[in-house]
Structure 1
Amino acid sequence: MNIAFFLLPKGEVVCLPHDATLRQALERMEYHRYTAVPIINHEGEYVGTITEGDLLWFMKSRPDLTFEGTNKVRIGDVPLRLNNRTVNIDANMDDLISLAKVQNFVPVVDDRNHFIGIVRRSEIIDYCEKGLSQKI
């Protein structure tokens, strides 16, 4: 099975530009009710994934930071605790599944490391569930 079958294309993925502010990240995550969002640079390359935990730990370590001040902090200044790994669009299912075990979603990139979308863990589980139910 080709992983492109599971791909949620970039245009449908909530992302943050790498120069977004902490406040923009908080508001986008709250609005969409996501706990993690991919970060993309201006060249379209995947930079990393920022999580609610990253934001909370950053804010906790800066007691002088007010909510109003979050619009002055760039997400590039927020340390990312997890290194969400990507797969290439040509990757095999084994690579995808091994990452989906430890990541809620797997960022997918092309040969130039340009972000082209994500594969959600839930999509892989649904696919596996259907395969198991057909064998029974």
Structure 2
Amino acid sequence: MNIAFFLLPKQDVVSVPHNATLRQTLERMEHHRYTAVPILNNEGLYVGTVTEGDLLWHMKDKDLSFDQTHKISLADVPLRMSNHPVHVDADIRDLISLVKVQNFVPVIDDRSRFIGIVRRSDIIDYCEKNIWAGQSKLQSSM
């Protein structure tokens, strides 16, 4: 199965630019109620994924108040997790191995440009539907 079937396209994905401030990142995540978002550079390349934890740990470690967050670049925040992207032509097995440990998997094209994400919940929904459909067929053949 082609992983593009599960793709949430870039235009529908909440992301942050790599040159955003800590405050801009916090506000975007709060507004959309996300705990993690992809970071993209000016060329549209996937840079990494920032999480609430990354932001909070940085604020704690640097003893920052919220009022100071507009002065801090997102680039200065260490990312504690490494959300690996997959190529759009990747095997579904590669996708599943990543989605087990990531809430979403960034997807890139041949030029390493970010084209969207695959959400863990979409994979689980697909599997659930196929499991129930398979069980129904099995029960009806008995």
Local SS of the residue matching 2:30: helix
Written as runs of structure 1 = structure 2, the 5 A alignment for 1:59-78 is: 59-63=59-63, 65-78=64-77
Deviations 1:45-69 (A, max 9, x none): 0000000000010001011x22121
Which stretches of structure 1, 4 residues or longer, exceed 6 Å deviation after superposition? none
TM-score, normalised via structure 2 length = 0.94
Structure 2 match to 1:88: 87
* CA shift for structure 1 position 134: 1.1
**Paired letter, 1:122:** S
In structure 2, list runs of 5 or more residues that go unmatched: 136-142
Structure 2 match to 1:52: 52
**Paired letter, 2:103:** N
In structure 1, list runs of 5 or more residues that go unmatched: none
TM-score, normalised via structure 1 length = 0.98
Aligned-residue CA RMSD in angstroms? 0.6
Deviations 1:100-126 (A, max 9, x none): 000000000001110000000000000
Local SS of the residue matching 1:24: helix
Structure 1 match to 2:121: 122
User: Higher Cα Rg: structure 1 or 2?
Assistant: 2
Structure 1 match to 2:103: 104
Structure 2 match to 1:39: 39
Q: Percent identity?
A: 68
Deviations 1:5-50 (A, max 9, x none): 1000000000000000000010001110000000000010000000
